[in-house]
Structure 1
């Protein structure tokens, strides 16, 4: 089948791009323009007409990319037309009338590129991450992965394991032949080196996932201390309902923010107090769970009654900022115990010291997001396969030392398989759907 889709954003725009890929791509251009395809990769102005009536749809630029030298590896064409809904609809309707042409599924162009060997699985994922990036640090990370740093590292480790696997299998195939001592030493050395590399890669504080998914901040504290007001202020819009009635917030309310280029997911939670209301108690449990799972806690209290129960005290650790709201109503200095904590006095109502709080949040973010070229993991699936690879390598080492070479070889094969799963070197059909469904239709 030949697929087609709008590759630019929906809605009115100056230019819209319709992308076509497949064996009928050349026929699509012939029928729409009444002329042969233009020279490869050369922009050519053409009149584009309806197939059945020859009624002019628009005048636009045609680009032709013969396979395999195209994004998907198949014959491809792009039609650059004016970005009105009427033009796009008329053009797509005309293409749909051509035999063996259908609308592309989300991410199908990139899926074809992967299946035809134009890109590896990590690059496919990073293209999706680049498209969905909202902050500068997300864009930078996606570009790094897209340029192949992760893939080259994982392929390098896999090649090392394949090399020692060949030696182990030689020992199995020729049991009467003794392997040179140098090779035996090398098997152990390379296995240990790969283990060390994987341990180092895994010890990244999940920074890659944090960058991709967003740094999680939970606003927690007693009822009626201004948690929802703070969320609304940070968001510059009304995200949460603000009321003087205690216990108004019962569910977790999230908003996505860009703080100094860092992706942040801020959650407003139910006020923590002793309650007999079953629904409110569930909300409080959700609040405590969200605080536990967060990267940073903003523990908000009222300046008029800075009092902590045991639960709030437990939340005040190195990953917390004590936010004392309604500071304009503070009648006396803070006690020494409070001054020792990482705290900031604010007044959401009077917009007092909010920038100071944001500055503290930025400092926490910078400490969490210490990025370097060593960050290679951006998804939980990468981490899973590396952990499995490490377990298999540890098992291999034990069995190899015990000279149980048949079982040792199987562990080594599993280790190489898990590395291959990361870059898509082996069958990964079962995970392709979940990866490409997150793409837009024209990519």
Structure 2
């Protein structure tokens, strides 16, 4: 057991370090003026995210797991995401960039000391290092949020990364997923969050699902066919929102005599027709699907297409199997600053032949966000349960900005159907 515990401690330390390295890259890419500026009312200033990840780390790992004295109890309310809306956070007496960096470093030093001493068994919070894994995922999720803030930032480019791989072959059409039962969710994944649990059996009728996400080229055809001007394709709420928000194309697209242009992290270029479309809201995705004679998949359909292995009847951790994602499997972790072309990750294909289900773009589903049968909030209601209901739609699969520690075949994301600043795309399905 000692050897296994040591291995787990090493893993946690590595993952905490990876997350902090990414946070540092995202916050040191700009000057202090940019850190405290609000680049969009949809997003917090970057300096708030920086101190918030430290505050959550302090609350859960220093105080709760470690039983240590608080580092800065006086700032708890400032960095409570439920106390202040994003648009109001610039008005708060936040830690300045120097103070935020010092605070997060102090907390991390104490956390590493707690990690050396804490038993990683005995209670649900520490069993298999769950609390540490929760904090790793929390920081990586905020890193993706900060990446989205960088996309909304105006000014010269400050982020760079190599281009993603190109397609290894054209991927078109759809696959038939046969009717039957499969296991959805998990009861065994060590760092799975409460809304992914418990594992349960789901029976689905047969359905077809696209082998690949909808691409920029395919979505441009919807625009060119007048899709934004025809209420037939839109839900009633979607049409109202399209008109109120004056939607005419995905966020960050601009029309040019030569065709559609896309501005990505400060650089503008023609859209790549073979990349998955991103920055579309749920209403836009649903309208495209209707125009194409299809629909969005349900959350259960998406997960069956991603995890179910017809040869064994088992649900895999990932579309390609149970192995942790590598650069050959999926476009994750900000390794690239955009989606890869459809067909770029043949090693990541599911047993049914569905591509790029993990990474590149979050995929909207038709499902509202609810708990599974037997759901139990853990370790606090505010992670998932307070968001259950018809106001939020589920997204699956992760984007190019999602870290491997914060996504898996069971992972569930959720957001309002009007949201477009996230790296959201979709694929279509239809009844068999």
Higher helix share: 1
Do these two structures clear the TM 0.5 threshold for a shared fold by scoring above it? no
Higher strand share: 1
Instruction: Provide the TM-score with structure 1 as the length reference.
Output: 0.27
Instruction: Provide the TM-score with structure 2 as the length reference.
Output: 0.27
Bigger-Rg structure (1/2): 1
